[in-house]
Amino acid sequence: MACPYLFVLAANSGDLPSIAAENCLDELHSRVLSTGFCLRIHRCPNDWKSDIETLVEQGEAVAEGHNPLAGEKGSLLCCDAIIPYYEPSKHWLGIYKPMENKWEIVDRFLLSDADNETCWFYPTENGTYLSWHSRLKLTTKPGKLAEPELLEKVDTYSREKLHVLWSLMADEEEMTCVGITYKNLRIDWGIVSCKPEAFSTWSSFTVNDMEAKPLEVISTISTTRKITTSGLARH
């Protein structure tokens, strides 16, 4: 089933046309959702005795984001996500439906006017973890539902079913906007290109649900990417 909607972000309400070809909406959206970050989280083996400083010194934890625990039995990749930077107080969302060879707007509103939901990116299972964080320059396309087949065959659009997702990241006190859903289905933004910045950050943290503050960051260290590197490392 094809996605019945196209989700477009714009800097102003007036930038969202009533009717437009998809390539025009592509260009509009790409100018707005153009930065983000990559987050990878690895669970350490239960008997792991090293630390992030040692891994950096030994060249195991590098700016490119390779898994420093690849050779460790019992390690697990818990998260590998690219998260665009949203600005709900500034970004307008336009929802479009297909009309012959073009797209017609169904609704438009400031993201901050949408209902909010909380989610949790970081693990809640007790243990020690390593995380890698790298800022990105992105080229994105308008969003489509990740699983449109789960919608009813004839869907009636409802603004109340669109939610902005917020999550605490590590030990930060303020929540970060991490995504948008419609009728509990994730909106995926097509990523055309992804260029990491020169610097990235490795951190180690523990989770202990018996503590008043369950997640505690142990240490954080910045690493510098080689000039020749232009893309994210694969696992």
Share of the chain above pLDDT 90, in %: 73
Joined tokens for residue 110: 């400031």
Q: What is the pLDDT of residues 173-193, one digit of tens each?
A: 889 999 999 999 999 999 999
Question: Given a cut of 60, is residue 1 above it in pLDDT?
Answer: no
CA 231, 111, 184, 165 dihedral sign is positive
Q: Given this model, what pLDDT does residue 190 score? A: 93
Q: What is the pLDDT of residues 107-134, one digit of tens each?
A: 999 999 999 999 988 999 999 999 999 9
SS (H, E, C) 90-142: CCEEEEEEEECCEEEEEEEEEHHHCEEEEEECCCCCCEEEEEEEEEEEEEEEE
Q: What is the pLDDT of residues 22-62, one digit of tens each?
A: 999 999 999 999 999 999 999 999 988 888 999 999 988 88
Question: Given a cut of 60, is residue 76 above it in pLDDT?
Answer: yes
Joined tokens for residue 3: 């996605």
Q: What mean pLDDT is predicted for residues 81-95?
A: 97
CA separation for the pair 160, 183 (Å, rounded): 9
Q: What is the pLDDT of residues 125-168, one digit of tens each?
A: 999 999 999 999 999 999 999 988 888 777 889 999 999 999 99
Mean pLDDT of the chain: 91
Confidence of residue 226 (pLDDT cuts 50, 70, 90): low
- Kindly report the pTM of this predicted structure: 0.88
CB 214 within 8 A of CB 124: yes
CA separation for the pair 36, 86 (Å, rounded): 8
Q: Given this model, what pLDDT does residue 230 score? A: 43
Q: Given this model, what pLDDT does residue 233 score? A: 53
Question: Given a cut of 70, is residue 232 above it in pLDDT?
Answer: no
Q: Given this model, what pLDDT does residue 63 score? A: 87
Q: Given this model, what pLDDT does residue 150 score? A: 86
Question: Given a cut of 50, is residue 228 above it in pLDDT?
Answer: no
